[in-house]
Amino acid sequence: MLITDEQFASVRGTVMDANPDMAAQMAGRIVDEGLKFVAACAKNPGLGLAPSRIVDEGWHALILHTALYAELCDTLGDQFVHHYPGYDPTNYDPPILDRTREKITELGWEADQELWGPPSDETLASVAAKCQHAPDCTIIITPRPKPGVA
């Protein structure tokens, strides 16, 4: 587990606050996928990964818990997974999402296929965030400089 049950419940609550009609189970699935996404990015710097629009909602909720998020990134390695918003919610690049799901699988998890599809008006859940990161805004992680190294 990447975060404690208490932390998970808090992040899930943030997703539900942003999406008042969302069931707790769906919010939990979204947070799970957000965690998997952050781990995949941290473990694959420079690859250019991106979340689906609905998974991005879970990532946003994690980021809002700044101390938890910083600790999560530290736990995952030397990579801080920064957020570079893409503001067009219709952007969709299947190869980038395929690559991201492959990296999640390589870490030993199964991606929730229902949450990694294209943005549409008929998604499994309405999401508050109006951003989509593919294709022009993939997430490319750069290692933190080591102390004392210029």
Tell me the mean pLDDT per 10 residues along the chain, length 150: 95 94 95 97 90 91 96 89 75 86 97 85 56 48 54
DSSP notation for 68-97: HHHHHHHHH-S----------TT---HHHH
pLDDT of amino acid 86: 72
Number of C-beta neighbours around residue 39 at 10 A: 22
* 140 touches 42 (CB < 8 A): no
pLDDT of amino acid 135: 46
pLDDT of amino acid 136: 45
Give the closest residue to 54 by CA, choosing from 117, 143, 140: 117
* 61 touches 124 (CB < 8 A): no
